[in-house]
Amino acid sequence: MTMLKPSLFLLTTLPFLLFSDTAMTSRQLWLRYAANPDNDPNIPNVSYAGYHRGERPLPRPPVVTNVRDTGAKGDGVTDDSAAFRMAIDQAAARGGGTVLVPPGTYLLNEVLHLNHSRVVLLGAGSDQSTLLFGRSLTQAIGERRSSSGHASAWSWMGGMVWVGPDNTFDNEGRIVSREGWPVGDTLANVRQPAVRGDRTLTVDTPAALREGQFVLMSWKNPGDLSLLHEIAGHALMKEYNWHQDAAALVRMSRWRWPVQIERIQGDQITLAQPLRIDVRPEWEVQFHEIETVIEEVGIEGLTLKFENPRPVERHLEDIGNNGIYLNRAINCWVHDVVIEGAENGLIHAAAKQTTTARLTLRGPRMHHATALRMGSHDNLITDFTVEAPVMHGINTESLSTGNVWRRGDMRHGTFDSHRAMSWDFVRTDITLHNDGRPGGGNTAGPLHGRRVVHWNIRVTNHQAEWVLQPDMISQGALVGIQGVQPTDKPAWAMVPGDKDCIVSDTGRVPTPPDLYEAQFQLRTNRPPNLGR
């Protein structure tokens, strides 16, 4: 007989009627979630976010090289780009390790490309080691326009510290790779249906898979839009003008989700985390190889500063004063980093299970403080401070899922969605001066998908829009929002109307106060690893 955990016994015996009222308290919502954490109707399980799903502390590989030993001066005048490149290559040649950046100010006029797995760039602390960028991306590698030519692509991609595979650039320094996940061969087809929350699947060719492997699962996007309707959540969202206002999503062939295989037994494979969406025959779910990614790269103890900062004034005409770019990256981290004078601070594009902790953003008006793009999943941004004025704020887009922002001090910006229907994500324990605005292309699709949660948010300037706006949430929850009352203003890029968004404990600190931490402790019986 399977024994229930003592902490869950009461939860499984509570009367169902306790949960039937949409005016549930935060405590009641938490008890309902805890009784069925992988398939709650309003609250997603985001406890798998972060470096190695939060289950391991950030590592400290041994020091294998020092930028001073490869010729870096650290005087703020000499271009140290070649010395950094040499140190990174030396560490990669030794199978990885830490590249030490002693106290000093290091002028870099080239993109610092961390293109080898298991290489860590470690400064003496953000108050002692500074990387001073004398050029922008436009100056360092050239202008890059959007496919339509109407905007600078540096407004949403790239960084002067660029974490990405070796095939990102050609021999002339030109970008040759795409931002999204690199899809390789089809490895297996899922043969039996499964439901959200399941972890074990039946496949036709298990021999093509291996335990511990990261693969891309993919769901076909059929012409009847059933997959998009499922992600959008509430039945009202079927009325959305999909073919006009979500043309980019309608054209998508498949939705892709990177996941690690934990165990293989016969034709049964067990995933390291539960499914976020059902497996149905009409969605023809498959497993694919991920061709090239970067793993186990860390950036720590540094200030990234731009020598010629400029405030973002002309929208979508950024020149590429961008900080860190995590592109096609798995199990990487950013810790104790200050970014000053950037147009875009930290950008994820096709990133999985990364942790960002103790990030501070300073300087003149920015475009994005942080951005999670191009199917970025299960990333954790914690203990962050946004001091700079910012046009948008903390961004998510492009069908990204499982991401968490927590313990933030946002002195500017807002809870930004750039449409394209990110879903199953949580923002929790954040103080916000709500003065930014969302964005997104005209054909990008709905503002959000289902199960978006804001939990224990303190708004300091009485602006509720984008934070306590029930119309923008489909089958999610707005819990413990303080400093504002709910606004009934219709949300941009959503079908108006009640979409079963729960609003609870307005004006009060909810129980538990940190939804991510409580979820992680429920799953593992211990606190999450959040940095050093």
Look over the chain and give the mean of its residue pLDDT values, rounded to a whole number: 94
- Is the pLDDT at 447 greater than 60, yes or no? yes
- Is the pLDDT at 173 greater than 90, yes or no? no
Amino acid identity, residue 221? N
Q: What is the pLDDT of residue 310?
A: 86
Please choose, from the candidates 203, 225, 125, the residue with its C-alpha nearest in 3D space to the C-alpha of residue 446: 225
How many other CB atoms are there within 10 angstroms of residue 500's CB atom? 18
Confidence of residue 167 (pLDDT cuts 50, 70, 90): confident
Question: How far is residue 45's CA from residue 529's CA, in Å, rounded to a whole number?
Answer: 17
Question: Which of 124-128, 315-319, 511-515 is predicted least confidently?
Answer: 315-319
The CA-based angle 268-287-271, given to 5 degrees, is 45
0.85 exceeded by pTM: yes
Confidence of residue 85 (pLDDT cuts 50, 70, 90): very high
Q: What is the pLDDT of residue 245?
A: 97
Q: Is 525 buried (19+), middle (13-18) or exposed (0-12) by CB count in 10 A? A: exposed
Query: Rounded to the nearest 5°, which phi and psi values hold at 510?
Result: -80, 170
- Is the pLDDT at 230 greater than 90, yes or no? yes
Question: Which of 10-19, 61-70, 397-406 is predicted least confidently?
Answer: 10-19
- Architecture per CATH, domain 51-175+297-524, reads as 3 Solenoid (2.160)
Domain extent listing, the chain: 51-175+297-524, 183-290
Question: What is the DSSP pairing of strand 477-482 with strand 502-504?
Answer: parallel
| Residues 6 or more apart in contact with residue 22 via CB below 8 angstroms | 500, 502
Question: Which of 265-274, 310-319, 383-392, 497-506 is predicted least confidently?
Answer: 310-319
Confirm if 258 and 292 have CB atoms less than 8 A apart.
Answer: no
Q: What is the mean pLDDT of residues 182-194?
A: 97
Question: How far is residue 483's CA from residue 455's CA, in Å, rounded to a whole number?
Answer: 13
Size of the chain, expressed as the number of residues it contains: 532
The per-residue b/e assignment along 431-442, b for 16 or more CB within 10 angstroms, e otherwise, is: bbbbbbebbbbe
Percent of the chain with pLDDT over 70: 95
Please choose, from the candidates 473, 482, 426, the residue with its C-alpha nearest in 3D space to the C-alpha of residue 454: 426
Tokens of 174: 């030109």
How confident is the model over 287-319, as pLDDT tens digits?
999 999 999 999 999 999 999 888 887 899 999
Q: Is 498 buried (19+), middle (13-18) or exposed (0-12) by CB count in 10 A? A: exposed
Confirm if 332 and 297 have CB atoms less than 8 A apart.
Answer: yes
Tokens of 483: 């400093």
Please choose, from the candidates 444, 421, 419, 422, the residue with its C-alpha nearest in 3D space to the C-alpha of residue 246: 444
- Is the pLDDT at 362 greater than 80, yes or no? yes
Question: How far is residue 357's CA from residue 335's CA, in Å, rounded to a whole number?
Answer: 5
Q: What is the pLDDT of residue 532?
A: 67
CA–chain centroid gap for 463, Å, is 25
ω before 512 within 30° of 0 (cis)?
A: yes
Question: How far is residue 487's CA from residue 465's CA, in Å, rounded to a whole number?
Answer: 7
Confirm if 253 and 204 have CB atoms less than 8 A apart.
Answer: no
Confidence of residue 529 (pLDDT cuts 50, 70, 90): confident
Q: What is the pLDDT of residue 12?
A: 35
Q: What is the pLDDT of residue 132?
A: 98
- Is the pLDDT at 9 greater than 80, yes or no? no
Q: What is the pLDDT of residue 181?
A: 96
Q: What is the mean pLDDT of residues 473-501?
A: 97
Secondary-structure percent of the chain, ordered helix, strand, coil, rounded to 5? 15, 35, 50
Confidence of residue 84 (pLDDT cuts 50, 70, 90): very high
Confidence of residue 530 (pLDDT cuts 50, 70, 90): confident
Neighbouring-strand partners of residue 264: 269
DSSP type of residue 54: G
- Look at the block and give the residue holding tokens 């990030």: 359
Mapped onto helix, strand or coil, the DSSP state of residue 347 is strand
Mapped onto helix, strand or coil, the DSSP state of residue 37 is coil
Question: How far is residue 442's CA from residue 279's CA, in Å, rounded to a whole number?
Answer: 30
DSSP type of residue 354: -
Question: How far is residue 181's CA from residue 355's CA, in Å, rounded to a whole number?
Answer: 19
Percent of the chain with pLDDT over 90: 90
Q: What is the mean pLDDT of residues 45-66?
A: 97
